[in-house]
Structure 1
């Protein structure tokens, strides 16, 4: 593979540099003698990489994608491959340092940090924005992507402490179980798809077609005409929809109301022309309906179906140079990152005064936002997508093999999905180290979930009172057995990364690579058939590791398997529904041993967790990458790498505290500086 060859270039170059020879001459010489034979010479191009065209170091500096690839394959010990001589620590460190310097030069030459293109709100953000704009008592519509339905007001971030006992609902309970107060007669628009290895707020996935724009207009009409859109349920009614007194000037009062409303809805001060248009529209509706509340409802519907409300965009100067982000843009980016919604009036006022971007003010607003109830929306959106928890909904273990997973129409997955979400919320509210995600000293369990983790005999159905299934009461408990605790070994992750009949080590390994280390593997070749759920007769005596060995025989599969196999097989003691096991059904002993990144050997799950904790710096940077992508609503690019290094370093310095990580994101150049329009 071309990656192997490029790594060889760096290795060959290092000793030559110590002799004081020309960097450019030696690099080009190595490329010519060791690489271009398969990567460019005589038209032969392996890996779709033509190295014959690299004539100087300037050309490599202009290729940040290639530089980033080199850094990743060296840092993760993916290259050289297993059959080649590995890098010693001195060679690896020197190579990474050289590449980081090239990356720094490349980033300085680019002079831009990419931001998301103009995009519309997804429906989760739209729901939140409408609720906040009108201060509704309830939601606009129930959303399946909001996996946790809060039954009791346990989420109190202002206290800095998570509740010991939590009662919640979950998505699979069905509509009859939901207690959310919402607007009657309002139906949501279709759910937005998540980007692969990304989030559902990505700008490249959120277009606004004329047909969808029309549907937003109809949606807006249904909101303001809902029978539940009343003074009792609408917190802004008194200053926006209430009848005008006889002693008030009608035009002036409408202008004053609209100026404040449009300021909130459009997240910036409306200019006089825009205000006049909306005022004239309202006056026309007032003359037509003879009802101020109805006229204001009409203009409110027009506002929340306007691209100015629906679109998330940033105003940029025309000259091609980096500038501090405009204050209103920063207010919106902050609020959509942490609250999944529009800025409140305080953020907008600070932006209007030109003070929000001041470090002291920005820091205090960050602290305030973390203590606000609206932080729950961040917890409802980011961790679910980061952990890919929506996959647990479609998990269907074989009912004959795992009858304990089912009870009437309910599944254990209702309880399983809550455990990692409650862990995330606790780490965030209490500002704990992110290492708790790998190996926590506490967790949340319902009685049913605690029983599901127990040593039940295969095929035995536990005693499940219906009340324990349909009501999700969770209690915070200490983790005394390190086989439990953290995100990686919880039952939700184990179950959603298994098939109906068996575990899927490759899927589990890919999940760890993608979620924990933000280094997803390439998709498998299309012509490689998947392993069957049940072994063929001649394979019945084999372990799963032995059955999967054939997939490593292909040269184009070997590289990825070297990366993800140790991660997946490390979890083989956890069965298809997360139950602990030491042997397979054929009597063969489970072998979960392996080596993490060719550095840390392990023979049991405790040693595997210890190996992961040895790589906690790598995890901090990976989580920073997930959060930065979520915050900026775009795919990360090579020029973001330096930002991630800085954020991770700050987090590590402060004992891996999660709020330090979040603060590092909002104080990063990528968050504070816009790009030049392409």
Structure 2
């Protein structure tokens, strides 16, 4: 705005216009009756695994989780120290043997991996519905867990206090013990105090099992299985704060505890969170900030690092990347590809920035990275390096002196997964930057636009890729998107289909990586492109914050969230864009503490008859 054929607005006019529009938008949002909340949704597989582990204090995994990209060795992840080690030993779960050797419960029923929402995450409510078939599978799953031969006193940390039979006593004494154990267990499992009616229901069930000549332990296992199959356990839902009015949509402290724990730990709240919720103090900003700080320095933070960055960066795409073997023979390393090393580099960078509370702007351009021997050689000249173990590798923290390599954008994994076997895909790369870095994904292309062939047609052999794509830009329905995403993709054109640096195409033509970011920042190469992105640092921070908030809430961001995001960016900028400050601002934001959607005087986000608390 305005059209390219017209004179652009003056900076003063543009600033005044934007300010006026923001004022009108803010007034509209504040007066609206509909307030966005977090929809009710079930746990995904990753969350269910973690919740069961924490509930029973299991020393083994419940499922094999290929979505957990990185396998930790030697316990390098120590957030309480505030420092990442200089050298770490890690492996890849999808590409290595770690799934076969890690300890987990045997005989557990299948829980299919949840699909990730397009331009979103696998915890989105609109992708986590519960069909009758899936409900039945939860019943089978719960029993297979607690009756697994590996579920015993050696693997279950609460075995003695919950499953082990008490000393001989009267029926009344046994019932009192069962009731006490269940009250504590149900409160932890359902993330809020268990009502007397609920405790009585489960107690009666256990006593009936004992009266049918089942052992005390087996009867308690039956109750535990029923808990795991209850919607109150596997549904994530909110309750409004006491005394909430139609214009007040705050969730109660127990809902806030769950939201916080599933955001940062991917699991149920621990006892300190539940205690603060019971005392009605968790919603207090100072208390909430203290708890976020505690959670950021707990080893369970690894679950956040195992879940969010891989989905945000879409790193699962590297698993299926297969660069041409003849052109890139060095990519294939023994039985495993170089992609294993590539995908771990940005994950280690992410963990370091978070643990050490560094600036999130280093996701764009960092002065350090973690490299294996293979990866170090890859960036230097595309060789394999020294052959080593394909399943676990040593990554060393190294300075990045060449700015072509720092950050996540120019990481070899991103460059490879946004290419096909023989050539780069600038449009795919541009769409990746638009969606991941700027949180502004383009619409799908029209179905009638032909794909660019991998090999140049007759007469096109001497053209650059930019010139060959000209036909797409001329298509009327494509021009708008191409004007926006082409500069983003062609900025990366110096990186070939496997992330190796190049100056020329195979036909000898020079690579042209110049362009204009957001129609106002001209750049000639990738370094200037990074500088242009850093000039728009608040825009990137807002985009990154939107991804984090969407992940935390399990829903898409909407217009009503815009001013909360603006405040998050302002506060984060005042703290030098530090990662932990950004996390704290997200938790303190208005959307994070909102739950039900209200229309007029009615709360409509939860139907009372299908509410989990009304289901056993």
Change (3 A) 1:581 1:192: same
In structure 1, what is the equivalent of residue 461 of structure 2?
540
Task: Spell out, residue by residue over 1:198-217, the C-alpha distance to the aligned partner (whole angstroms, 9 max, x if none).
Answer: 11111111111111111011
In structure 1, what is the equivalent of residue 612 of structure 2?
none
Task: Spell out, residue by residue over 1:594-637, the C-alpha distance to the aligned partner (whole angstroms, 9 max, x if none).
Answer: 11112221112111111111111111111111111111110111
Task: Tell me how far apart the structure 1 counterparts of residues 142 and 469 of structure 2 sit (CA, whole Å).
Answer: 53
- Does the CA-based 8 Å contact 2:96-2:336 persist in structure 1? no
In structure 2, what is the equivalent of residue 673 of structure 1?
594
1:645 equivalent in alignment to 2:566:
yes
In structure 2, what is the equivalent of residue 9 of structure 1?
none
- Does the CA-based 8 Å contact 2:70-2:306 persist in structure 1? yes
**Equivalences, count:** 595
Aligned ranges for residues 565-644 of structure 1 at < 5 Å? 565-644=486-565
Structure 1, 139-148 or 533-542: larger mean CA deviation: 533-542
Query: Out of 287, 294, 308, which is 1:368 matched to?
Result: 294
Query: Out of 325, 347, 357, which is 1:421 matched to?
Result: 347
1:662 equivalent in alignment to 2:588:
no
In structure 1, what is the equivalent of residue 190 of structure 2?
266
Aligned ranges for residues 191-202 of structure 1 at < 5 Å? 191-202=113-124
Task: Tell me how far apart the structure 2 counterparts of residues 587 and 85 of structure 1 sit (CA, whole Å).
Answer: 39
Say which SS state the counterpart of residue 94 (structure 2) adopts: helix
Shift of 1:482: 0.7
Task: Spell out, residue by residue over 1:422-467, the C-alpha distance to the aligned partner (whole angstroms, 9 max, x if none).
Answer: 00000000000011100001000000111111224xxxx63552x2
- Does the CA-based 8 Å contact 2:92-2:98 persist in structure 1? no
In structure 2, what is the equivalent of residue 184 of structure 1?
106
In structure 2, what is the equivalent of residue 19 of structure 1?
none
In structure 1, what is the equivalent of residue 471 of structure 2?
550
Task: Tell me how far apart the structure 2 counterparts of residues 159 and 322 of structure 1 sit (CA, whole Å).
Answer: 40
Aligned ranges for residues 6-45 of structure 1 at < 5 Å? none
Higher relative contact order, chain-length normalized (CA < 8 Å, sep 6+): 2
Change (3 A) 1:114 1:496: same
- Does the CA-based 8 Å contact 2:346-2:408 persist in structure 1? yes
- TM-score (ref. length: structure 1): 0.86
Say which SS state the counterpart of residue 487 (structure 1) adopts: coil
Task: Tell me how far apart the structure 1 counterparts of residues 595 and 279 of structure 2 sit (CA, whole Å).
Answer: 20
In structure 1, what is the equivalent of residue 401 of structure 2?
480
Aligned ranges for residues 399-438 of structure 1 at < 5 Å? 399-438=325-364
- Does the CA-based 8 Å contact 2:77-2:302 persist in structure 1? yes
Task: Tell me how far apart the structure 2 counterparts of residues 318 and 362 of structure 1 sit (CA, whole Å).
Answer: 20
Task: Tell me how far apart the structure 2 counterparts of residues 447 and 647 of structure 1 sit (CA, whole Å).
Answer: 39
In structure 2, what is the equivalent of residue 69 of structure 1?
none
Shift of 1:522: 1.3
Task: Spell out, residue by residue over 1:13-53, the C-alpha distance to the aligned partner (whole angstroms, 9 max, x if none).
Answer: xxxxxxxxxxxxxxxxxxxxxxxxxxxxxxxxxxxxxxxxx
- Does the CA-based 8 Å contact 2:254-2:278 persist in structure 1? yes
Task: Spell out, residue by residue over 1:543-595, the C-alpha distance to the aligned partner (whole angstroms, 9 max, x if none).
Answer: 00000011110222111111111111000001111100000011111010111
Q: Which runs of 5+ in 2 are unaligned?
A: 605-616
Task: Tell me how far apart the structure 1 counterparts of residues 31 and 117 of structure 2 sit (CA, whole Å).
Answer: 29
Query: Out of 113, 124, 141, which is 2:35 matched to?
Result: 113
Task: Tell me how far apart the structure 1 counterparts of residues 5 and 466 of structure 2 sit (CA, whole Å).
Answer: 20
Shift of 1:175: 4.2
Shift of 1:81: 4.4
Shift of 1:174: 4.2
Say which SS state the counterpart of residue 477 (structure 1) adopts: strand
Q: Which runs of 5+ in 1 are unaligned?
A: 1-78
Change (3 A) 1:469 1:175: closer
In structure 2, what is the equivalent of residue 96 of structure 1?
18
1:331 equivalent in alignment to 2:288:
no
Change (3 A) 1:417 1:82: farther
Task: Tell me how far apart the structure 1 counterparts of residues 350 and 98 of structure 2 sit (CA, whole Å).
Answer: 28
In structure 1, what is the equivalent of residue 427 of structure 2?
506
Query: Out of 179, 182, 195, which is 1:255 matched to?
Result: 179
Say which SS state the counterpart of residue 538 (structure 1) adopts: coil
1:395 equivalent in alignment to 2:321:
yes
Query: Out of 165, 168, 191, which is 2:87 matched to?
Result: 165
1:246 equivalent in alignment to 2:168:
yes
Task: Tell me how far apart the structure 1 counterparts of residues 279 and 174 of structure 2 sit (CA, whole Å).
Answer: 29
Change (3 A) 1:315 1:176: closer
1:213 equivalent in alignment to 2:135:
yes
Change (3 A) 1:626 1:463: closer
Higher percent of residues as helix? 1
- Does the CA-based 8 Å contact 1:419-1:445 persist in structure 2? yes
- Does the CA-based 8 Å contact 2:244-2:250 persist in structure 1? no
Change (3 A) 1:84 1:577: farther
Task: Tell me how far apart the structure 1 counterparts of residues 3 and 116 of structure 2 sit (CA, whole Å).
Answer: 33
